[in-house]
């Protein structure tokens, strides 16, 4: 079995409050992007993972794909050993949620491969045990998210008139560090309301609470956002806790950039993904 595990951007991200369980309540709009890692599942004598492509920090045995396997194996004894092959095309630690997607796609693939019969809601509950971004990739369509990110409400967002540019300078941002810098504050207007404004008004309305501290620590990330606007972006924002930045451009424009060669740079045409 082979599946293509995508990623996301956050169109706005507000940290609303600190929870008693140590996590944070937030609100964001998740938007899936057609950039893919590749995950293959093969029957094997023992469960393991072979990772190829872009480097993944840390011990391979701690990969979220294996965590997903063992999470389900604990409850479903009929699951037999699997050798996972993961081709990483999407940068790690960039705020694009590619690792979270890998974990979520492992869950959905194992559910299908072993006929576990798990519903979408049940898969979301398993995904939440892997990470706060993981439930979104079970739904995998534009959503307004609240709570830790697991309270998901599908939205209609028409970006078909735009192309998107994603830029990542290769800086790994620690999510726990990023959250530690934030002073939670309830927004005066919900992002669910702001996202319905004309896209030309997003620049003055939609924010990412992580930008201020991440830009201070890594000015080159703020420079990317500024360069996107200079090139004609209608809207630009850092995704998640960084370090990737995205810009929306009208489809009939061809923006030109002079980013360093080691930067991850992708141009993506967007269809109506509502």
Which token pair is 194?
A: 């702001």
Distance from C-alpha of 234 to C-alpha of 224, rounded to nearest angstrom: 14
Q: Is the dihedral of CA 64, 70, 73, 75 positive or negative?
A: negative
The closest of 134, 170, 180 to 243, measured between CA atoms, is 170
Task: Supply the residues annotated as catalytic.
Answer: 8, 133
CA dihedral 192, 193, 195, 201 (to 10 degrees): -160
Q: Report whether 24 contacts 148 (CB < 8 A).
A: yes
Q: Which residues share a beta bridge with 26?
A: 15
CA–CA dist 82, 75 (Å, integer) = 16
Under 8 Å between Cβ of 241 and 175: yes
């Amino acid at each position: 079995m082979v599946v293509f595990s995508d990623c996301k951007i956050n169109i706005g991200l507000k940290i609303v409050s600190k929870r008693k369980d140590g996590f944070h309540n937030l609100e964001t709009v998740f938007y899936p992007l057609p950039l893919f890692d590749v995950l293959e599942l093969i029957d094997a004598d023992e469960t393991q993972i072979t990772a190829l492509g872009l480097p993944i920090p840390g011990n391979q045995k701690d990969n979220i794909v294996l965590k997903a396997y063992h999470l389900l194996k604990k409850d479903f004894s009929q699951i037999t050993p699997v050798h996972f092959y993961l081709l990483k095309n999407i940068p790690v630690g960039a705020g694009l949620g590619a690792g979270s997607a890998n974990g979520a796609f492992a869950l959905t693939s194992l559910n299908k491969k072993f006929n576990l019969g798990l519903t979408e809601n049940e898969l979301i509950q398993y995904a939440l045990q892997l990470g706060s971004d993981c439930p979104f990739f079970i739904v995998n369509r534009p959503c307004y998210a609240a709570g830790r990110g697991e309270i998901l409400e599908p939205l209609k967002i028409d970006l078909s008139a735009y192309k998107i540019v994603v830029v990542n300078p290769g800086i790994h941002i620690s999510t726990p560090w990023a959250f530690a810098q934030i002073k939670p504050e309830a927004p005066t207007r919900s992002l669910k309301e702001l996202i319905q404004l004309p896209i030309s008004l997003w620049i003055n309305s939609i924010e990412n609470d992580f930008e201020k501290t991440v830009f201070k620590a890594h000015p080159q990330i703020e420079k990317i956002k500024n360069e996107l606007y200079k090139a004609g972006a209608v809207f630009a924002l850092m995704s998640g806790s960084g370090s990737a930045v995205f810009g929306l451009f009208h489809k009939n424009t061809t923006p030109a950039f002079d980013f360093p060669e080691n930067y991850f740079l992708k141009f993506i045409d967007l269809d109506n993904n509502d």
